[in-house]
Amino acid sequence: MQANMSIGTSLDFFLFVAIALFAIGAIGAMTRKNMIVLLMCIELMLNAVNLMLVTFSTYYGNGDAQIFVFFTMVVAAAEATVGLSIIIMAYRNLKSIDIDMYNQLKN
């Protein structure tokens, strides 16, 4: 695995950005109450990973990571559709998209 020196040292910056995005997404997912926002946060996490993958792929100079990114996007899109439809159904029942309203299921 020979390293491509073109972005050599700046690899870390990309990684930091990616990890930061991922962390933001995660924290947002934990703290925010609005389902839509939650969905966005998770998308953010996925995209952070995408960024990371792209970085690595350029670092290693092989492309399959970039192909993986496409897959991830597709999956994200699929998740988004399903997620939105689920949210809508949920809204139909409780007339609310505040996640804290949904706590009938507990011990």
Partner 1 sequence: MDSIVILFITGLLGLFVGMRRQAVLSLSISILGLIFAGIAAYFRGTYISPLASYSGYIPTPSNVIILLCVVSILAVLGGFQRYKQDEEHTGDYLSLLLFSLCGAIILAQPNDMMLFFIGLEILSIPIYVLVGIEKGSATSAEAAVKYFFTGSFASAIILFGIALLYGATGSFQIIEIQSNLAIGIWQSPMAMLGSLFLLAGFVFKIGAVPFHFWGPDVYQGASNAVLMYMSTIVKIAGIYAVLNVFGQIFRDSYFFWIDLIALIIVLSMFYGYITAWKQTSFKRLLAYSSIANAGLMLFALSDILNSNILLFVAAYSFATIPLVVINQLANPTQDAIANWEGIAWKNPLVGVALVIALFSLAGIPPLAGFFGKFSLLLAAVPHLPYAAILALVASVVGVFVYLRLLILALKKPTVQTKQSLSIEQSAVLLLTTLGSLSALYFI
Partner 2 sequence: MPQDLTLILLLSFPLLGFAINGIFGKQLPKMVIGSIATVAVFASFLLATSLFSRLDGTTIVNLFNVLDFENLQINASFQIDALSIWMTLIITGVGSLIHLFSIGYMSHDEGFYKFFTYLNLFIFSMLILVLGSNYFVLFFGWEGVGMCSYLLISFHYNDAQKGIANSLAGRKAFIMNRIGDVGLLVALFMIIGQFNTLEYTKIGHLIESNKALTGGAMFFITLSLFIAATGKSAQIPLFTWLPDAMAGPTPVSALIHAATMVTAGIYLTVRSNFLFELAPFTQNIILYTGLATTLFAAFMALRQNDIKKVLAYSTVSQLGLMFVALGFGAYTVALFHVTTHAFFKALLFLGSGSVIHGMHEEQDIRKMGGLAKLMPITHFTFLIGTMAISGIPFLSGFFSKDEIMAQALHHNTFAYIVLVIAVTMTAVYMFRLYFLTFHGEFRGGDQLKSKVHESGPSMTLPLIILAILSIFGGLLNLPGLFFKNSAHWFDHFLSAGTFGLNHIHPVHLDFATSIQLMIFASIVALSVLIWAYLNYVKKGNIAKDDKDLNGWERLSAAKLFVDELYNVLIVNPILAISDFTGKIIDIKLLRNGVYALADGVLNSANISRKWQSGFLSSYLFWMVFGLIIFVAYYILKISVWH
Among 6, 9, 95, 106, binds partner 2 (CB under 8 A): 106
**Under rule CB under 8 A, which residues in 15-44 are in contact with partner 2?**
26, 29-33
Please report whether residue 89 would count as binding partner 2 according to CB under 8 A: no
**What is the Cβ-side half-sphere exposure of residue 32, based on CA atoms within 13 angstroms?**
16
Could you give the 3-state DSSP secondary structure of residue 98?
strand
Dihedral sign for Cα atoms in the order 6, 47, 1, 14:
positive
Among 65, 73, 98, 100, binds partner 1 (CB under 8 A): 65
Q: Which is nearer to partner 2, 13 or 102 (CB)?
A: 102
User: Could you give the C-alpha distances from 100 to 37, 42, 103, in angstroms and in order?
Assistant: 13, 18, 6
**What is the Cβ-side half-sphere exposure of residue 36, based on CA atoms within 13 angstroms?**
4
Enumerate binding residues for partner 1 (CB under 8 A): 1, 15, 22, 25-26, 29, 35, 38-39, 42, 45-46, 48-49, 52-53, 56, 59-60, 62, 64-65, 67-68, 71-72, 75, 78-79, 82-83, 85-87, 89-90, 92-94, 99, 102-107
